[in-house]
Amino acid sequence: MNKIEQFKSEKDGLDILPDVQRLAQEGWEAIDEGDRERLKWVGVFFRRQTPGRFMMRVRISNGFTNAAQMRALADITREYGVGYADITTRQQIQLRGFEIAHVPEIWRRLESVGLVSLQTGQDNIRNVVGCPVAGLTPRELFDASPVVREFTESFLRNKAYTNLPRKFNVTITGCTEHCVHAESQDIGLTPAIKSVRGEDVNGFNIAVGGKMGSGGYRAASPLNVFVTPGAAAALCGHITQIFRDHGPRAARNRARLAFLVDEWGVEKFRNELRRRVGTRLQTAGQDARGPRTTDHLGIVRQKQAGLNYVGLVVPVGRITGDQMSELARVAETYGSGEVRITTSQNVIVPNVPDQRIPALTGEPLLRVLRHDPSGPMRGLVSCTGIDYCHFALIETKDLALETARHLEHTFPHGQSLTMHWSGCVAGCGNHAAADIGLLGKNVRVNGEVIDAVDIFVGGRPGPNAVAGLKVLEDVPCKELPFVLERMIPYLSTKRASGSSAASAGQASMSRPLPPVHAIA
Ligand code: HEM
Ligand code: SF4
């Protein structure tokens, strides 16, 4: 039995909740290893890089938040934290730098605006991801956010779901534009249409066993099951419990649902699901997803007449308390007070009337969090890096920004570029799923250890996902901006239009994602 399984068998992770008041009084040095791990069940993370200063991961289901929540988060980070927070690629917000003594007060404030940090770490169902413009975009089959909410409510504080073999990622979307990487999730629900007794019914097709880590990318396997929105949350619950009861637990790096799906095969998995559901499962409906992938940034018309959502870039997802307060004000002044968070670490202000757009775009905040960013800034994603993560081999966020700023002067205006950074092989920055992926490492040059990266190109999420291909190794971070500046014009997918290789290039730079384990 590995250490985490041992801790879980001694005491359920969620049972740390009543102890937190005591831990807050005793101080961080008194927290033993088991309780440090269990604190992750309630979203509180001891950080080895900053002993005594903790991180809290706040759950933002479907990326839906609002001005009141933004203000509360802003106040918390100014009063107890480091003055900024990090937006993550699971649409969450990570607060940093507070002491364990502050946790009860921070929770009190979060609760007062309807936020929790529960079950955001370790072997739990992580934040359920959904299209950030659900209910707004004319390009959705239907608004799937009520299903995200229903499923989340069913597992929060519910011990039926707090002893899983490992983390469990779920995405539920009705958007036809592949904005949320559903295919890399343990459960991916994507929009589909099923003809039932001659009538078209909207719902989801289900895929299971996707992952990005634990041996590399594996696309979720279609289960050949269609489910209506009304039955979807319960079905996700059944699938999670199959994982809980049968998922491998011995080795942490082989404990994801993917390994059970591989061991059983889709047919056996489907049969077990049918047994648990107790009724016939419907076969898959017609896939409603289109070929387009989008990030929902910029000024975009909503399905509601006269209204727009405005997607703003938060460079590498790091947002100051003051910017959060301003964002809250802007969302209330020009929109409905709602704020949405994207999986590219950015934010969206919905429900802005046409006539309010000029005033909104004239706001000082939008000169920093831009609605019209350069290509390199728009597609920039970065993991936490060495400042707060002890796995990191390099600093990532500042370097990512510096590199993007260097490139934006030479990159053709109006073209898109996704550039994703991971500070180590864990790959939290999804470096394999970007036009350019940077993976941090340390290399020895002339006897000196320096920060460097491997460079991947041509990665692409979506239904025909391809993993980035490693094209350069051990590039010193200091030289990276200049290496990329020379390289980008020759990336086949990024060539200026008119180049003879512009469309043919994709195939030569990319390759289909191989099955499990093939990518190191
Ligand atoms: C053994 C492998 C992994 C380890 C040890 C690991 C470790 C971590 C750590 C320590 C953090 C928090 C750092 C901080 O901000 O203080 C983190 C965050 C995160 N990681 Fe990983 N990670 C692993 C694999 C992955 C993979 C494969 C993905 C998916 C691409 C991933 C996605 C994320 C995301 C999205 C976050 C931000 C928090 C959230 O919203 O859930 N991680 N990871
Ligand atoms: S990729 Fe590595 S460095 Fe970056 S957050 Fe994940 S574990 Fe930390």
Query: Which CATH architecture is the domain 298-373 placed in?
Result: 2-Layer Sandwich (3.30)
Contact 251, 296 (CB under 8 A): no
User: Smallest Cα–Cα separation from 189: which of 253, 247, 255, 234?
Assistant: 234
Per-residue pLDDT of the chain (520 residues; tens, 9 = 90+): 899 999 999 999 999 999 999 999 999 999 999 999 999 999 999 999 999 999 999 999 999 999 999 999 999 999 999 999 999 999 999 999 999 999 999 999 999 999 999 999 999 999 999 999 999 999 999 999 999 999 999 999 999 999 999 999 999 999 999 999 899 999 999 999 999 999 999 999 999 999 988 888 899 999 999 999 999 999 999 999 999 999 999 999 999 999 999 999 999 999 999 999 999 999 999 999 998 889 999 999 999 999 999 999 999 999 999 999 999 999 999 999 999 999 999 999 999 999 999 999 999 999 999 999 999 999 999 999 999 999 999 999 999 999 999 999 888 877 889 999 999 999 999 999 999 999 999 999 999 999 999 999 999 877 777 889 999 999 999 999 999 999 988 886 665 443 333 232 232 223 333 332 222 2
Cα 457 to ligand 1 centroid, rounded to whole Å: 22
CATH superfamily placement of domain 145-287: Sulfite Reductase Hemoprotein, domain 1 (3.30.413.10)
Where do the structural domains in the chain lie, given as residue ranges? 7-112, 145-287, 298-373, 377-512
Ligand with smallest separation from the Cα of 255? 1
The tokens describing 285, both together, are 């409906």
Q: How far is the CA of 511 from the centre of ligand 2 (A)?
A: 25
What string of H, E and C letters represents the secondary structure of 32-93?
A: CHHHHHHHHHHCEEECCCCCCCEEEEEECHHHEEEHHHHHHHHHHHHHCCCCEEEECCCCCE
The CB-side HSE value for 229 (13 A sphere, CA atoms) comes to: 17
Distance 166 CA to ligand 1 centre (A): 13
Q: Are 115 and 63 a contacting pair, CB within 8 Å?
A: no
The separation between the first and the last C-alpha atoms of the chain, rounded to the nearest angstrom, is 26
User: Which residue's C-alpha comes closest to atom 43 of ligand 1?
Assistant: 428
How many whole angstroms separate alpha carbon 465 and alpha carbon 426? 19
Residue nearest to atom 6 of ligand 2 (CA): 428
Whether the CA torsion 488, 491, 497, 499 is positive or negative: it is positive
Asked if the domains at 145-287 and 377-512 fall in one CATH topology, the answer is yes
Its pTM stands at 0.94
Collapse the DSSP code of 282 into the 3-class scheme (helix H, G, I; strand E, B; otherwise coil) and give the result: strand
Lining residues, ligand 2, CB within 6 Å: 383-385, 389, 391-392, 422-424, 426-429
**Range 439-448 burial, b when 16+ CB lie within 10 A, else e:** bbbebeeeee
Question: What is the 3 state secondary structure string of 311-343?
Answer: EECCHHHEEEHHHHHHHHHHHHHHCCCEEEECC
pLDDT of residue 500: 33
Q: Which residue has the tokens 């269609």?
A: 226
Q: What is the pLDDT, as a whole number, of residue 291?
A: 86
| Spatial CB neighbours of 506, under 8 Å, sequence gap ≥ 6 | 458, 492, 493
User: What spacing in Å lies between the alpha carbon of 421 and ligand 1's midpoint?
Assistant: 12
In testing the pocket of ligand 1, which one of 92, 169, 428, 431 has its CB within 8 Å of the most ligand atoms?
A: 428
Indicate which atom in ligand 2 lies nearest the CA of residue 385.
3
Give the residue among 88, 284, 290 at the shortest CA–CA distance from 178.
Answer: 290
CA of residue 428 to ligand 1 center, whole Å: 5
Q: Whose CA is nearest to atom 24 of ligand 1?
A: 426
What does the pLDDT read at residue 492?
Answer: 67
194 C-beta closer than 6 A to ligand 1: no
Q: Which ligand is nearest to the CA of 90?
A: 1
Which protein residue's CA is at the shortest distance from atom 18 of ligand 1? 428
Q: Is 46 in the pocket of ligand 1 (CB under 6 A)?
A: no
Active site residues: 57, 166-167, 423, 428-429
Which CATH class, in words, describes the domain spanning 7-112? alpha beta
Class assignment of domain 377-512?
Answer: alpha beta
- Rounded to 10 deg, the angle between the 103-112 and 67-79 helix axes is 160
Which residue has a Cα nearest atom 19 of ligand 1? 428
**Cβ of 424 below 6 Å from ligand 1:** no
461 CB within 6 A, ligand 1: no
Q: Which tokens belong to 406? A: 């260097």
